[in-house]
């Protein structure tokens, strides 16, 4: 099947995950694509096709070489972001993009004036939305690239490779994708998530991440008689926000700069809640940021009375760099694969996280490679057809280069 046709068949499934759910997968609708993929992989002739009870799908492309080659893996996620609807997606292909505004639908325009990255793809064929949903290239592009690469390798037995494992998991977009990933079943020496953006990108650094939730209990008294009695939980919440550095927020930071991000605020005089995420590439500064949040909670309780503020602080994931650096040949193979597919490798740090970050701390070194999609999580998302092909070729090249470089007779 053509990679574009395959990709479009996947985006027809609404697989939006949900942060409000306590189940895995977080939404029942993710099962539909997982089951579709299970049938497709079985039909293509992959082996050990297994869909577990949490919608994690695994399969094997057997080795076709006499060499002893490390088993490697490729991973993508089936869910799409809760930030934007993934239902009833209406994709279309803009042929030979001319660098001008793209009218997605009446009154909705994707313009290079706002999205200059469009200009990097003049002359290419862009798959876009109708401006009312996301596209789902994050990460159905990655799935299409992996499946198409496996199909291509089966049709070209002259290209030698070791055993290749693939896995497609739910709930990456809500930070849960690696939580139930069976690394032992996967059985790989190293792997790659196909979940990056622009062509040529390789990512093996990401944020260290934590969540911080403040629960504030006030003392509600009639405002006419409140002197020296009232503790206004809403005002305490505002005070806490003001104690964090104004310029260390997402809208004021870039590259390796970390931040405190207020993701939720609610309350009244009696009760209030604050939710933050804390991010930094440096583990040391990350720990300092967490310590700062703890000190704020302590200061508030000292000022307003013990029990006024409670803090729930939880680590979410860590920078995979410390796990990748001892096995940098994994990056060298990816760089060579990208070069041989006609691109310049672009090493960059992720201002976020990936399933690969969590998997790397589960003894599966797992950097992230581009899948080609751009402007994820919104209605202006697009993916160039040419990028789908380049990513697929990168997967093929990694399989071949691994056999050539690491295979032992």
Tracing tokens 């592009």 back to the chain, one arrives at 141
Residues 317, 328, 403, 393, CA torsion sign:
positive
Q: Which of 145, 172, 381, 403 is catalytic?
A: 172
- Nearest Cα to Cα of residue 385 among 77, 92, 133, 74: 92
Is 195 one of the catalytic residues?
A: no
CA dist 387 and 197 (Å) reads 10
Q: Which of 79, 201, 355, 403 is catalytic?
A: 79
Residues 91, 92, 98, 100, CA torsion sign:
negative
| Residue 104 CB coordination number (10 Å) | 20
CA dist 409 and 393 (Å) reads 26
Is 325 one of the catalytic residues?
A: no
CA dist 169 and 162 (Å) reads 23
- Nearest Cα to Cα of residue 390 among 344, 349, 356: 344
Instruction: Give 101-107's long-range contacts (Cβ < 8 A, gap of 24+).
Output: 102/126, 102/128, 104/128, 104/129, 104/130, 104/131, 104/379, 104/380, 105/130, 105/131, 105/132
Catalytic residues: 79, 172
């Amino acid at each position: 099947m053509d990679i574009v046709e395959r990709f479009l068949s996947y985006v027809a499934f609404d697989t939006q995950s949900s942060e409000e759910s306590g189940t895995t997968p977080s939404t029942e609708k993710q099962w539909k694509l997982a089951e579709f993929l299970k049938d497709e992989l079985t039909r293509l002739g992959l082996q050990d096709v297994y869909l577990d009870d949490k919608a994690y799908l695994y399969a094997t492309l057997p080795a076709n070489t006499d060499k002893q080659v490390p088993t490697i893996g490729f991973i993508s996620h089936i869910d799409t972001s809760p930030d934007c609807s993934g239902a009833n997606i209406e994709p279309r292909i803009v042929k030979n993009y001319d660098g001008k505004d793209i009218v997605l639908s009446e009154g909705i325009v994707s313009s290079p004036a706002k999205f200059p990255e469009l200009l990097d793809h003049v002359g290419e064929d862009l798959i876009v939305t109708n401006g009312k949903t996301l596209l789902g290239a994050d990460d159905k592009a990655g799935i299409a690239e992996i499946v198409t690469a496996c199909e291509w390798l089966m049709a070209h037995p002259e290209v030698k490779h070791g055993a290749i494992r693939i896995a497609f998991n739910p709930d990456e977009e809500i930070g849960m994708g690696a939580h139930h990933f069976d690394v032992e079943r996967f059985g790989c020496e190293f792997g790659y998530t196909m979940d990056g953006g622009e062509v040529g990108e390789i990512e093996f650094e990401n944020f260290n991440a934590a969540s911080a939730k403040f629960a504030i209990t006030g003392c509600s008294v009639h405002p006419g008689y409140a002197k020296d009695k009232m503790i206004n939980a809403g005002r305490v919440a505002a005070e806490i926000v003001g104690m964090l550095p104004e310029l260390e927020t997402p809208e004021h930071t870039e590259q390796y700069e970390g931040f405190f991000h207020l993701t939720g605020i609610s309350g009244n005089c009696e009760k209030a809640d604050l939710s933050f995420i804390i991010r930094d590439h440096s583990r040391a500064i990350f720990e300092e940021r967490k310590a700062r949040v703890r000190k704020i909670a302590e200061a508030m309780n000292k000022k307003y009375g013990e029990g006024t503020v409670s803090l729930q602080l939880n680590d979410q994931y860590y920078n995979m760099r410390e796990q990748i650096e001892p096995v940098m040949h994994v990056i060298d193979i990816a760089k060579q694969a990208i070069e041989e597919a006609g691109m310049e490798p672009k090493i960059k740090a992720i201002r976020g996280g990936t399933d690969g970050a969590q998997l790397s701390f589960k003894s599966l070194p797992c950097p992230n490679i581009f899948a080609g999609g751009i402007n994820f999580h919104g209605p202006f998302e697009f993916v160039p057809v040419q990028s789908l092909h380049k990513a697929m070729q990168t997967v093929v090249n990694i399989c071949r280069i691994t056999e050539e470089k690491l295979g032992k007779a």
